[in-house]
Amino acid sequence: MIYQGKAIAVASDTNTGGESIATLTFDLEGESVNTLSSAVVTELGEAVEAIAATHGLCGLVIESRKDAFIVGADITEFHGLFQKGEDYLVEMNLKVHDIFNAIEDLPFPTVTAINGLALGGGFEVTLTTDFRVMADSAKIGLPETKLGILPGWGGCVRLPRLIGADNAIEWIAGGTEHRADAALKVGAVDAVVPGERLAAAARDILARAHAGELDYRAWRVEKTSPLRLDAIEQMMAFETAKGYVAGKAGPHYPAPIEAIKVIQKGAGEGRERCQAIEAKAFAKLALTDVCYNLVGLFMNDQVVKKKGSQYARQARPVNQTAVLGAGIMGGGIAYQSASKGTPILMKDIKDDAIELGLKEARKLFTKQVERKKLTTETMAEKLTNIRPTLSYGDFGHVDLVVEAVVENPKIKDAVLTEVEGQVGEDTILTSNTSTISITRLAENLKRPENFCGMHFFNPVHRMPLVEVIRGEKTSDAAVAATVAYARAMGKTPIVVNDCPGFLVNRVLFPYFGGFSLLVEQGADFRRIDKVMETFGWPMGPAYLLDVVGMDTAVHANAVMAEGFPDRMAQGGKNGGKAAIQAMYEAERLGQKNAKGFYAYEEDKKGKPKKVEDEAALSLVNDVATGTKDFSDEEIIARMMVPLCLETVRCLEDDIVATPAEADMALIYGIGFPPFRGGALRYIDAMGLDAFVAQAERLTEELGPLYAPTDKLRAMAKAGERFYSDAATSSANSSHKPA
């Protein structure tokens, strides 16, 4: 044994040619995956020193004993490390570069055997070796830009020299994972083999290098020298890429562009100079609010996934499901279930509704074929997972039912009580409702413990969130099974308790309330949309209301007003929601009938494109008390404060269990700007004292919708935060009170 640590072991043996080969194995003690924590990186440095000091070695294989190779750096350390400042981060990265360079400079050929996921720092480890052989089931990539940083351990240096600047820019700026065939095509790996042949293939590559068939020294010169691009080629490659990537990433995500700049600055430099450029850029990005929030987002996502896993482990198997109510929503649910491998019955009382649901599912599968995600054969096979029916004939064998009929409590009650008599005693019933109380819908059920909410967001195939709503009598078994099914569908389930609007809609409608008050007082809704889109929302509130549908919004608003009359039945000239009500009464329902706050025309792809409409402007002017110019800061404050306060109330009322789940629900459910981290991280970044002061000023003018809770005031006074890591946020936060 050459070296033995808690994460890394190095042993040597003699191959068939008589050469002594070292094998460095990653196998992090007590963990299911390998990560590159600070401790593991220290061990790697020690292991490489031991290898370099061992005489008689003729080659090195780097491998993993886990199912994945290395999934990346230990992100749980990031906030603490980044708090130490720019100089520390530069020095830290340069020390890692020294270790990685020592691997690259070993006096014999080296190869990495990539058996599973090799991401971020894990992929950068593979780039240090002369050769890479990859299992056909493995994936590789550099996802750092999704965390607001860039590859800091040589990814911006070695990858462009390995696969060319254009391919490297696409990989690094996009931050996506790549399959083995794609990696082989661009030259990121040297061979792809079945997993069981991986070790033998790695040894074979070393043997061929020893025989002179593979010139590893020439590869090293290529990897450590300037890029082979002249000045004109560099300008064309990098400037074109910057324009394209800037358009894709948008103004709030600087990391992809910074990564291109790092590659560009280092294009004419040798290895060490390039690495210094990379380390400096990494450190600067690591100290930004965007990075801080995106890392926090990753951590929150891990909390949500861990909770989902805990529920799923307790769940009874869900092998056969059914959806009641076809049409667009039912078809979307059926598609999602079938595409992920869970057979589903799709029941309705009308043939034309069944056909509409099947048409929706076929359309979504066809798009997957067009994008080459599926073959036509696989599509046909997956479509057989959907069985349309007009009767309850096969419902005796169903494990879970999703009721997705019209959002009307009487109709839902009738359908649920009817289906309960057709299924087994252990079958779980769920309702895809966005507002109706689960406890209320359970009143006439014989087995209310087997019933919960399963709220999908539209469009089902795109929106990742599913709210699993626990009623007063819902059992843990029902929640567990529903969470397990949502996960099997590829969704992110978050368990919430029952209340009007549950979590997401309860939080969303105060945001719409803020919008209505602004419009009533004379703000131009088009300007509000532009300000909030610049703030980071995918669409402004007027545009979002058109997408939601004015009829849906008016119905949900009524539910919210009944449940929370003190703040959601807002006062004002026309009850605080005049513009939405006026649109509804004028039958301007939004995109569903091509007219709302905007009019809609089909673009070249057949998708609705919004255009200004004089009739809408006139309608809004009629319900406004006058015309008033608001600053961008005023608009943001009046939109965001109600949303954030309602999120706080949901946490205090135990509707949602943790800040992490609350923030992830808003990001996954309504498109809260990810780079801002969620409503509660947004408050933390501003500072609770500043947020409360802002809310109190607005309360004096606008009333209870803007009133902070007593507990929030107490937290602010005590200097508390929602996240324990909040104190490590960048000192020059961009979230200033308006």
Catalytic positions are: 455
Residue 258, token pair as written in the block: 């910074």
- Give the C-alpha separation, 729 to 425, whole Å: 51
- Give the C-alpha separation, 174 to 139, whole Å: 15
Which DSSP string corresponds to 445-495?
A: -S-GGGEEEEEE-SSTTT--EEEEEE-TT--HHHHHHHHHHHHHTT-EEEE
- Give the C-alpha separation, 661 to 642, whole Å: 19
Which DSSP string corresponds to 366-398?
A: HHHHHTTSS-HHHHHHHHTTEEEESS-TTGGG-
Q: Which secondary-structure segment (H or E) carries 469?
A: strand 465-470
Q: Which secondary-structure segment (H or E) carries 41?
A: helix 38-53
- Give the C-alpha separation, 317 to 439, whole Å: 25
Instruction: Count Cα neighbours of 492 within 13 Å in the Cβ-side half-sphere.
Output: 20
- Give the C-alpha separation, 92 to 558, whole Å: 56
C-beta of residue 559 within 8 angstroms of C-beta of residue 501: yes
C-beta of residue 511 within 8 angstroms of C-beta of residue 643: yes
C-beta of residue 403 within 8 angstroms of C-beta of residue 324: yes
Cis peptide bond upstream of 459, omega within 30: yes
Residue 632, token pair as written in the block: 């961008």
Residue 74, token pair as written in the block: 């230990």
Residue 347, token pair as written in the block: 């029941």
Pairing of strands 3-4, 131-135: unpaired
- Give the C-alpha separation, 683 to 90, whole Å: 30
Q: Please name the residues in contact with 685: beta carbons below 8 A apart, sequence gap of 6 or more.
A: 289, 293, 676, 677, 726, 729, 733, 734, 735
Residue 154, token pair as written in the block: 């040589």
Q: Provide the 3-class DSSP secondary structure of residue 8.
A: strand
- Give the C-alpha separation, 267 to 161, whole Å: 9
C-beta of residue 480 within 8 angstroms of C-beta of residue 542: no
Helices (H) and strands (E) in the chain, counts: 31, 20
Angle at the Cα of 478 from the Cα atoms of 472 and 483, rounded to 5 degrees = 110
- Give the C-alpha separation, 540 to 272, whole Å: 47
Beta bridge partners of 602: 608
Q: Which secondary-structure segment (H or E) carries 428?
A: strand 428-431
Burial bucket for residue 321 (CB in 10 Å: 0-12, 13-18, 19+): buried
- Give the C-alpha separation, 501 to 669, whole Å: 13
